[in-house]
Amino acid sequence: MELSGAEIVWECLIREGVDLVFGYPGGAILPTYDTLSSYPQIHHVLTRHEQGAAHMADGYARATGRVGVAMATSGPGATNLVTGLATAMLDSSPVVCITGQVPTSVIGHNAFQEADITGVTLPITKHNYLVTSVEELAFSIREAFYIARSGRPGPVLIDLPKDVQTARTEFHYPTDEIRLPGYQPVPTAPEEKINRARTLIRSAERPVILAGRGVLLSGAVAELREFAERTETPVGLTLLGKGCFPEDHPLCLGMMGMHGTGEANHTVQEADLLLAFGMRFDDRVTGNLATYAPKARKIHIDIDPSEIDKNVEVEVGIAGDLRQTLTDLLAGLEPIEHGDWIKRITRWRDESEERELLNQVLTSPQLKAAEVVHDLWTLTGGNAITVTDVGQHQMWVAQYYAHSPEHALITSGGMGTMGFGLPGGIGAAMGRPGDEVWVVVGDGGFQMTLAELATAVQEQVKVNIALINNGYLGMVRQWQELFYEKRYNATPMVSPDFCALAAAYGIPAVRVSERSQIEAAVRRAQDHTAGPFLIEFVVEQHDVVFPMVPAGSDLHDMIRRPINGPGREKEIQS
């Protein structure tokens, strides 16, 4: 059948299994939007900003495992997607963005609302396309989805000139297997490297597993647990790896790195073997590379060969699917015991427990954000999808909310994008409408994308918003307190009355300032099923996320919470 380029877009999306698109129309993409009404199979969500559309597609992708789709017009519409694309790129999220472009006859002439979006996004997408012929369009879309979801997932952008959208051609959806020269999405792990890894594993006395988002992406949760239990190896989690290993398991060390647990960081520094599974040795995990895990040999398994030896040189680097590689490793491994090593780690864990905020005698009556997150975890039974923004509250969620594979943490890790939380949560809630979804945001990041409250209202999205309000850009203020002699320049923040703001959108809201009020507020939010609900938690302004490894410092040089009371003095534990 003969179709226009605009019709081909929707036909291809349907064949790729898409039933939800987040977007914002404009002149250069209008031909495509004009044909949308002919495709009732696809529900379009009108966002209030293109950045919101990109984050919603990302949140949807992380919550469902499917490709998230965002759409925008040319020029500013396309450039407003950039932050969302960069966020998805660093966190390996499968997203396809389709942008309108000026007609091919005026590309390069600075036409109205023209921007070289393929040039702009080349470093922050897995691949991108400028489609200049309607005959190429169907194959480009199919290829884009294949690239986005295969191997290490990531974002792909398709730039579509207006005349290509209106041009017509005979439509045939491509069904042949896609083969791209030079692109091997799933490398095969050589048996020789598997054998070398087994040898190191058998000889290790103090091993530790570093588990990242790749465990979740590869579906290797069961294999990771079997490996850890068979070899009696403790497991530390990256921020995006939370959920891939039970946090109540005796072998779980919790999160590692800058705001990781004391036992996780000490274990890494004292280990004689690091097993890095689906993680990329981010600087927030390693601290000073010159002193990182100085006693350990290292095995790194990742689907992306470019990550091997990129940040940390390893003895055995295996490029391959993590689930399959762990299956191959387990096939030749007998049970191994590390009782003395586990006892040593237990002493570090006990010492960390003494420093734990919730085990302290608190002298201040002011509500603590950690109390909010802990009680939220308790009241949801740990069965909520939590989507955070970026800042102190993000770290408290990582520390005090135990996640599962079904309800893994959704957050901006690599890019650290303030403003991700609310739109990311809307996308997650629309992808998993039967699940309880909590968006945990700070007063700073929330105000960057709060216009998406209107999107949640228009779509009647059931999403609960826990707003942690401390009157500051909290994480920046923390750095100023600890490293800049308390010069709080540009961090105190005047905010609106958030409950009144919610009311202006027709959203019910409640303010909480005492711990005794938390349960009733959370229950009200849970019982409200007709759209979003907001709780403003007014918390202590000068709280600090402990532990903390200063940027670029040795991983074992943690600023720890003093054991006796919630004081603010610096205590370095080497």
pLDDT of residue 561: 82
> What digits encode the pLDDT tens for the residues 137-193?
999 999 999 999 999 999 999 999 999 999 999 999 999 999 999 999 999 999 999
pLDDT band at 358 (very low <50, low <70, confident <90, very high): confident
Burial classification of residue 299, based on how many CB atoms lie within 10 Å of its CB (0-12 exposed, 13-18 middle, 19 or more buried): buried
**Stretch 555-567: mean pLDDT:** 74
Mean residue pLDDT across the chain: 95
How far are the Cα atoms of 3, 28, 324, 428, 572 from residue 32, in angstroms, in the given order? 12, 9, 41, 25, 59
Is 113 an active-site residue? yes
Q: Which of 11, 50, 223, 263 is catalytic?
A: 50
pTM over 0.85: yes
pLDDT band at 568 (very low <50, low <70, confident <90, very high): very low
Say yes or no to pLDDT of 566 above 60: no
pLDDT of residue 363: 63
CA-based nearest residue to 90, from 305, 251, 307: 307
Is 112 an active-site residue? yes
pLDDT of residue 364: 72
Cis status, amide bond into 187, omega within 30 of 0:
no
- C-alpha span between 532 and 525 (Å, rounded): 8
CA–centroid distance for 516 within its chain: 31
Per the document, the length of the chain is 574
Q: Structural domains in the chain?
A: 2-170 (3.40.50.970), 191-349 (3.40.50.1220), 367-538 (3.40.50.970)
Say yes or no to pLDDT of 20 above 90: yes
For 224-233, b/e burial (b = at least 16 CB within 10 A) is bbebbeebbb
Q: Which of 255, 256, 415, 475 is catalytic?
A: 475
pLDDT band at 569 (very low <50, low <70, confident <90, very high): very low
pLDDT band at 403 (very low <50, low <70, confident <90, very high): very high
pLDDT band at 355 (very low <50, low <70, confident <90, very high): confident
> What digits encode the pLDDT tens for the residues 35-89?
999 999 999 999 999 999 999 999 999 999 999 999 999 999 999 999 999 999 9
Say yes or no to pLDDT of 572 above 60: no
pLDDT of residue 567: 45
pLDDT band at 120 (very low <50, low <70, confident <90, very high): very high
> What digits encode the pLDDT tens for the residues 495-509?
999 999 999 999 999
Please report which helix (H) or strand (E) contains residue 526, including its range.
Answer: helix 518-527
Helix (H, G, I), strand (E, B) or coil at 517: helix
% of the chain at pLDDT higher than 90: 94
Please report which helix (H) or strand (E) contains residue 473, including its range.
Answer: none
**Stretch 319-338: mean pLDDT:** 96
Backbone angles phi, psi at 179, to 5 degrees: -130, 120
CA-based nearest residue to 327, from 226, 193, 190: 226
Residue in the structure block whose two tokens are 């946090």:
247
**Stretch 253-262: mean pLDDT:** 96
**Stretch 285-308: mean pLDDT:** 97
How far are the Cα atoms of 123, 303, 326, 381, 426 from residue 307, in angstroms, in the given order? 16, 9, 18, 36, 31
Q: Which of 7, 11, 16, 162 is catalytic?
A: 162
Q: Which of 112, 205, 354, 406 is catalytic?
A: 112
Q: Give the chain's count of helices (H) and strands (E).
A: 23, 21
CA dihedral 37, 114, 16, 54 (to 10 degrees): -90
CA-based nearest residue to 397, from 375, 414, 415, 418: 375
Sign of the dihedral through C-alpha 89, 90, 94, 95: negative
- C-alpha span between 3 and 169 (Å, rounded): 6
Q: Which two tokens stand for residue 248?
A: 């109540």
| Lowest pLDDT segment from 15-19, 517-521, 552-556 | 552-556
Long-range interactions of 189-195: CB distance < 8 A, separation 24+? 189/301, 189/318, 189/319, 189/320, 189/321, 189/324, 189/325, 189/328, 190/318, 191/328, 193/316, 193/317, 193/318, 194/318, 194/325, 194/328, 194/329, 194/332, 195/332
Is 162 an active-site residue? yes
pLDDT of residue 359: 73
Q: Which residue did the predictor score with more confidence, 204 or 361?
A: 204
pLDDT of residue 39: 98
Query: What is the 3-state secondary structure of 545-565?
Result: CCCECCCCCCCCCEECCCCCC
Q: Beta strands of 106-251 (E only): which ranges?
A: 127-130, 155-161, 168-170, 207-211, 235-237
**Stretch 472-491: mean pLDDT:** 96
CA dihedral 345, 349, 351, 354 (to 10 degrees): -170
